[in-house]
């Protein structure tokens, strides 16, 4: 038997698939999963309870399709053709037309839990705890080997040299993920209550299909987050992904990277701000001191001038008083031939009317005194 090449086999199978009329204009019912976009083209998976198939909507078909009908978790009917790829021996469905069929199982369960918890008040803003501005330690509940933890480490260490990171290795998808997430949330709170301080808890994972993110839509996980005494930042998937965790957590981050950025402040920027503020404060203090010194110098000069003026005035007054005292010194008067008359008690007799005939009086002169008896008084 002559062997054939792999390419020949793939080409043969691809031709058989293209020629099969049953695989043209095929109406396929399934739930949308893993929707993504590249340029003008869309890629998704259609699945049912036991199988799935890859699909593509090429740009020329996308313009004729109501793309609002295509969302993760929705059931649709897609009219499509088989599209084999001989190079790698795979095939997919090329979708030409879409009709809405209804809500998929994952979406239905999501909405059921969301409505239930919302009615119970678990999403109420009054229960939201503030995220600490300057955490001492951040706990991270996520896979220890995924890209999410590396992104979180990188962001926190790049902008903060103070906060510690405590990782709780967690299964974030598949069997056991729900239990693992809940146990680690409770473990973080237990450590916090017992002296291992944890200020903020990041709970989440990187992007994936709705099935990959399903654990974070579980009611038990939602209740564990709500019961956490530590403020929780939910960081599940990409910006377009929303989970029940996002609604019940104290804060929602679009991605794990955004959660890390939200969880810590930039200590390097803070230090720079403190240095700038210190310099501004020092300059302001110098200016204030200089201004106050100028005021004090001015006040001192004015005070000294006033004191000198007062001293000069007092000195002048003293000089005048000395002159006046000198001019009015009785001894100067006595030197001119005048005398003072005092009675026996030493009191000055200012006029002749006060003289009593027969009494003795002391006559005080410039160089001595004498006593005289009055024999006669002559009044003017």
Q: Where are the domains of the chain?
A: 6-103, 109-265, 268-317, 331-373
Residue 370 dihedral angles phi and psi, to the nearest 5°: -150, 160
Question: 353, 374, 377: which is closest to 363 by C-alpha?
Answer: 374
Superfamily of domain 6-103: Nucleic acid-binding proteins (2.40.50.140)
**Contacts (Cβ under 8 Å, ≥6 apart) of 186:** 224
Predicted confidence (pLDDT) per residue in 105-144, tens digit: 677 788 889 999 999 999 999 999 999 999 999 999 999 9
Identify the pLDDT of residue 333.
Answer: 64
Identify the pLDDT of residue 53.
Answer: 94
The CATH class of 109-265 is alpha beta
Is the pLDDT at 213 greater than 70? The verdict is yes
Give the pLDDT mean for 271-293: 90
Give the pLDDT mean for 182-206: 96
CA 131 to centroid of chain Cα atoms: 10
What proportion of the chain, given as a percentage, has pLDDT over 70? 96
Predicted confidence (pLDDT) per residue in 60-106, tens digit: 888 888 888 888 888 888 888 899 999 999 999 999 888 777 656 67
Whether residue 30 contacts residue 95, with contact meaning beta carbons closer than 8 Å, is answered with: no
- Range of lowest pLDDT (233-242, 248-257, 287-296): 233-242
Question: What phi-psi label fits residue 132: left (phi over 0), alpha (psi between -120 and 50 degrees) or beta?
Answer: beta
Give the strand pairing for 232-236 and 340-342: unpaired
pTM: 0.57
Residue 183 dihedral angles phi and psi, to the nearest 5°: -60, -40
Give the number of other CB atoms < 10 A from CB of residue 199: 20
Q: How far is Cα 301 from Cα 261, in angstroms, rounded to an integer? A: 59
Please state, rounded to an integer, the average pLDDT across all residues of the chain. 88
Give the pLDDT mean for 291-318: 88
- Range of lowest pLDDT (144-153, 180-189, 248-257): 144-153
Identify the pLDDT of residue 340.
Answer: 79
Whether residue 35 contacts residue 42, with contact meaning beta carbons closer than 8 Å, is answered with: yes
Q: What is the DSSP letter of 131?
A: P
Count Cβ neighbours within 10 Å for each residue of 311-350 and write b for 16 or more, e otherwise.
Answer: eeeeeeeeeeeeeeeeeeeeeeeeeeeeeebeeeeeeebe
Identify the pLDDT of residue 257.
Answer: 93
| Residues linked to residue 168 through DSSP beta bridges, in sequence order | 141
Whether residue 338 contacts residue 364, with contact meaning beta carbons closer than 8 Å, is answered with: no
Give the number of other CB atoms < 10 A from CB of residue 140: 31
Residue 40 dihedral angles phi and psi, to the nearest 5°: -95, -5
Of 11-20, 93-102, 257-266, 362-371, which one has max mean pLDDT?
Answer: 257-266
Q: At what angle do helices 256-263 and 147-159 cross, to 10 degrees?
A: 30
Identify the pLDDT of residue 334.
Answer: 64
Identify the pLDDT of residue 209.
Answer: 75
Look at the block and give the residue holding tokens 């008083």.
Answer: 321
Of 56-65, 214-223, 269-278, 294-303, which one has max mean pLDDT?
Answer: 214-223
Give the pLDDT mean for 35-45: 92
**Contacts (Cβ under 8 Å, ≥6 apart) of 29:** 48, 75, 76, 77, 101
Is the pLDDT at 178 greater than 90? The verdict is yes
Q: How far is Cα 123 from Cα 114, in angstroms, rounded to an integer? A: 9
Whether residue 44 contacts residue 32, with contact meaning beta carbons closer than 8 Å, is answered with: yes
């Amino acid at each position: 038997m002559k062997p054939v090449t792999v390419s020949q086999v793939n080409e043969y199978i691809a031709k058989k698939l293209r020629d099969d009329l049953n695989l043209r204009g095929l109406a396929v019912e399934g739930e949308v999963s893993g929707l993504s976009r590249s340029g003008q083209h869309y890629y998704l998976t259609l699945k049912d309870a036991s199988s799935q198939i890859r699909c593509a909507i090429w740009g020329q078909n996308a313009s004729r399709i109501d793309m609002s009908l295509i969302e993760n978790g929705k059931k649709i009917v897609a009219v499509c053709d088989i599209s084999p790829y001989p190079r790698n021996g795979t095939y997919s469905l090329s979708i030409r037309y879409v009709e809405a069929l209804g809500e998929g199982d994952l979406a239905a369960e999501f909405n059921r839990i969301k409505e239930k918890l919302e009615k119970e008040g678990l999403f109420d803003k009054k229960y939201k705890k503030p995220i600490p501005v300057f955490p001492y330690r951040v706990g991270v509940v996520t896979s220890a080997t995924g890209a999410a933890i590396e992104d979180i480490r990188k962001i926190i260490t790049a902008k903060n040299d103070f906060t510690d990171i405590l990782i709780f290795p967690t299964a974030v998808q598949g069997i056991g993920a729900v239990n693992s997430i809940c146990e680690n949330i409770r473990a973080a709170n237990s450590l916090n209550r017992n002296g291992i301080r944890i200020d903020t808890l990041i709970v989440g994972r990187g992007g994936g299909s709705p099935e990959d993110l399903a654990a974070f839509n579980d009611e038990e996980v939602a209740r564990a987050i709500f019961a956490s005494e530590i403020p929780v930042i939910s960081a599940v998937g990409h910006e377009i992904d929303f989970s029940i965790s996002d609604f019940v957590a104290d804060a929602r981050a679009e991605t794990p990277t955004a959660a890390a950025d939200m969880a810590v402040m930039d200590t390097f920027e803070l230090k720079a701000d403190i240095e700038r503020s210190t310099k501004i404060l020092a300059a302001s203090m110098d200016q204030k001191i200089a201004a106050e010194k100028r005021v004090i110098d001015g006040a001192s000069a004015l005070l000294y001038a006033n004191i000198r003026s007062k001293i000069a005035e007092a000195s002048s007054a003293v000089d005048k008083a000395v002159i006046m005292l000198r001019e009015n010194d009785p001894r100067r008067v006595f030197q001119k031939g005048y005398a003072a008359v005092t009675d026996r008690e030493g009191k000055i007799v200012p006029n002749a009317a006060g003289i009593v005939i027969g009494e003795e009086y002391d006559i005080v002169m410039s160089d001595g005194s004498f006593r005289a008896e009055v024999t006669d008084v002559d009044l003017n």
